[in-house]
Structure 1
Amino acid sequence: MGGAITDVAGVKVGHFTETRRPTGCTVILTEEGAVAGVDVRGAAPGTRETELLDPSNLVEQVHAVLLSGGSVFGLEAATGVVRWLEEKGIGFPAGPATVPIVPAAILFDLDHGDHHIRPDAAAGHAACAAATSLPPAEGSVGAGTGATVGKLFGAARAMKGGIGTASVKLGQITVGAIVAVNAVGDVVDPASGRVLAGARDTAEGRERIGTVDSILRGDLPAILQAGMATTIGVVATDATLTKAQARRLAQVAHDGLARTINPVHTMWDGDTIFALATGKSGQAGNMTVLSVMAAEAMAAAVLRAVLHAQAIAGPGVPQLPTASDFD
């Protein structure tokens, strides 16, 4: 499956990729506003403004969503997104001010290089300045720069993750997804059951051992530090949705993660999916159909994230293989 989340009218994407160590951030801009929802399934999340998206709360639309590396420190990049939107006069009218609404989520990539280097407000601002409606770059860019997968047995036996995007169009309605894949689990092709990227037998090994098979054999690591992973993403549509429907779309988009990441939603992942509805098609859509489209687009985006991943070099950066190195 091809396409990109930018196939959805009203959506732009911009990356900032840090050159000093593998990290970065990605902004999904909806400058004219989009109804939004969110669903957090992982047990170690790092998020911003997610409570605002509850259907019972006031604000109906958001103006951007930020996905960032840098663990909790990376949430600072959202400040730069807010500043960029304010400079454009975009936001929620609040008394004398116009307040941009920018939810965000982060992943953990501090174990590559100097962990004091992480996306900041300048990085978020730069991602906005780079945003376009063209198909975004995939692989080791933006929020996916420092992403890795198959980490149950430690970073040395993992493989490179990344960021991917895909879309599905049916009639007048398009659903797209973008996801930064940084999972404890393996990425598995649901069509064949084959592990594309995941835990390996040794740090130098080329055999992908299958994390779930290892767990079921009782082959477990002595220790795994909590909060060392997380897959974060956005599903977007040009259909017209309510906030409650947007939250539901975010929930079912996790089905795409469950089809392609195994195990998923672990105690060490903070898996978070946002949903955006721009309404640009003028069509309400059918929630069952939209749900199928969202899960399919998200699953395809996960696969593309690892298939487009590139090796990253630098001081203190493990030389992890990519899926393309093996196949």
Structure 2
Amino acid sequence: MTATLLAHDGHIARVQGIQVGHFTDPRRPTGCSVVLCPQGAVGGVDVRGAAPGTRETDLLDPSHLVQQVHGITLSGGSAWGLDAASGTVRWLEEQGVGLDIGVGRIPLVPAAVLFDVMLGDMRIRPDAAAGYAACQAASHERPAEGSVGAGAGAVVGKIFGHARAMKGGIGTASFTVDGVTVGALVACNALGDVYHPHTGQLLAGARTADGQQLLGARDALLRGEAPSAILAGSNTTLGVVATDAQITKPQAQRLATVAHDGLARAINPVHTMSDGDTLFALGTGQSGRNLGLMTLFTLAAEAVALATARAILLAQSVDVAGQERLPSWADWQARAHA
């Protein structure tokens, strides 16, 4: 079943009207990712984690005036990484994209960040130039996955300490039904472990004290093992779920809410006090078609679950000077078959 996940060829840029780009900083594991909808899309958001870092999420409230946004920025760098969205705004403005205010256009770009500043020099973090570079790289092609963009510095399974964690990343998936596509892009930096969403197989997370095996944080907690002291806000899974179905802004909000079911299928524990789990939803309407909400929501949750797992399966181990190596799922598989 893991091979099936790796073979999945769907991706969020298959959604009509969507472009995706990454910037990965070569100086340390960090970066940002953009999901652009230059022709506009209705948007929604559901912030489920208790320690979020966000920008421009209030305008996505269904009762608020603005109906469309022009992109989403996901970034590493914790609160400093929110600056990457300024680069996205600048790039879109240069393309003539944004809300027409008569004297010019204002691109509307909500954003969210994850905490990756424990890997290397924390003074290196995504800024406006990084967001701009991600936009320059954006296309309708399949986005890179694994340890790139907003997932470059992602780490999962930190419940029993960062030294016993594993490498996270960014992944994508999509499904098409009756001419309507629903896709997801997920950067997984979860406090919890990550599981195969179909089989329940533990893929990555907290390791045993000797670092040689997966511990199984859920079972350890149920046995009464005490977690390590956890820095608030030091985790977070971010994502965008997008569709080219014709949906309303309230429906986009609901799409973001239901999409969190996908996180719950792949991450345990999820939505903790130390995670800032945030999912955005975009509806471009460019398929010109409608799809029943039951089917639409089912596709969204499934795409998020698969994208989360792919973020782990395609991540790469990381070595940072003076720090212990963080292994990836791929490394462990190679070792098992050596």
Residue aligning to 1:248: 254
Tell me what 1:89 maps to. Answer: 96
Contact 2:180 2:290 (8 Å CA) reproduced:
no
TM-score of the pair, normalised by structure 1: 0.98
Please list the CA deviations of residues 61-103 of structure 1 after superposition, one character each: whole Å capped at 9, or x if unmatched.
1111000000000000000000001111100012412100000
Percent identity, aligned pairs only, is 61
How far apart in 2 are the matches of 1:30 and 1:4?
A: 15
User: Residue in 1 aligned with 2:239?
Assistant: 233
Question: Secondary structure, in 3 states, of the residue corresponding to 2:43?
Answer: strand
1:150-299 correspondence to structure 2 within 5 Å: 150-202=157-209, 204-299=210-305
Question: Are 1:186 and 1:198, in contact at CA under 8 Å, matched by a contact in 2?
Answer: yes
Checking the alignment, whether the CA contact within 8 Å between 2:197 and 2:309 is kept in structure 1 is: no
Partner of residue 55, structure 2: 48
Change (3 A) 1:59 1:156: same
Count residues with an aligned counterpart: 326
Are positions 1:74 and 2:52 aligned together? no
Give the Cα–Cα distance (whole angstroms) in 2 for the partners of residues 113 and 316 of structure 1: 9
- Secondary structure (helix, strand or coil) at the match of 1:268 reads coil
Pair 1:5 & 2:15 matched:
no
The answer to whether the 8 Å contact 2:197/2:306 transfers is: no
**Match for 2:87: what amino acid?**
G
1:141 alignment partner in structure 2: 148
* Partner AA of 1:182 in structure 2: N
Give 1:311 shift. Answer: 1.4
Q: Do the aligned residues in 1 keep the contact of 2:150 with 2:187 (CA within 8 Å)?
A: yes
Structure 1 unaligned runs (5+)?
none
Query: Who is 1:60 aligned against?
Result: 67
Indicate yes or no: 2:72 matched with 1:36. no
Return the alpha-carbon distance in structure 1 between the equivalents of residues 291 and 158 of structure 2. 39
Helix, strand or coil for the counterpart of 1:6?
helix
2:156 and 2:191 in contact (8 A); partners too: yes
Structure 1 residues 182-191 or 111-120, which shifts more? 182-191
Contact kept? 1:253, 1:298, Cα under 8 Å: yes
Superimposed CA distance per residue, residues 113-161 of structure 1 (whole angstroms, 9 cap, x where no aligned partner): 0001000000000000000100000000000000010010111000000
Instruction: Note the alpha carbon deviations across 1:140-194, whole angstroms, 9 max, x for none.
Output: 0000000010010111000000000000111110000000000000001132222
Gaps of 5+ in 2: 1-7, 334-338
Taking structure 2 as the reference length, what is the TM-score of the superposition?
0.95
Matched residue of 2:143: which SS? coil
Root-mean-square deviation (Å): 1.0
Q: Is the contact between residue 37 and residue 248 of structure 1 (CA under 8 Å) also seen in structure 2?
A: yes
CA distance in 2, matches of 1:124, 1:16: 7
For 2:264 and 2:162, how far apart are their aligned partners in 1? 22
Cα distance, 1:217 vs. partner? 1.0
Q: 1:91 to 1:317 in 2, by over 3 A?
A: farther
